[in-house]
Amino acid sequence: MLLDLDHIGIGLREWDLVSLAVDYTDFARITDSDYQAFVDAYGGYDMTAWHGYRTLATIKELRWTAFVLGKAKTSTEAAQQVQHRVACLRGEIEPPWWWSAF
């Protein structure tokens, strides 16, 4: 029996790797050595060196922001976090960023 197929898809490996790479480049949640160990374990493929990396990273960050935006009407903390995230995406705050989890 298979369940929870809503996140299964076929596509670019880059979409699967972008979240980890963003944690490394924009949030500094992963150390240089840990990221390099991941790249080595993944066969030497460094997602951040791919020409489309920044585009996918921005899409992922925008999705994370839109998710919190959906909670902003009923949560003051979410509304404040949306403002912070939008400022980050606009370049008003330099990385590494710190975003609250929702």
How far apart are alpha carbons 66 and 2 in whole angstroms? Answer: 29
Tens digit of pLDDT for each residue in 20-61? 999 999 999 999 999 999 999 999 999 999 999 999 999 999
Q: Where are the domains of the chain?
A: 13-89
Torsion angle, alpha carbons of 81, 6, 58, 68, to 10: -10
Provide the pLDDT confidence category of residue 1 given band limits of 50, 70 and 90.
low
3-state secondary structure labels for all residues of 21-66: HHHHHCCCCCCHHHHHHHHHHCCCCCHHHCCCHHHHHHHHHHHHHH
pLDDT at 2 over 80: no
The DSSP element (H or E) to which 18 belongs, if any, is helix 13-25
Reported pTM: 0.84
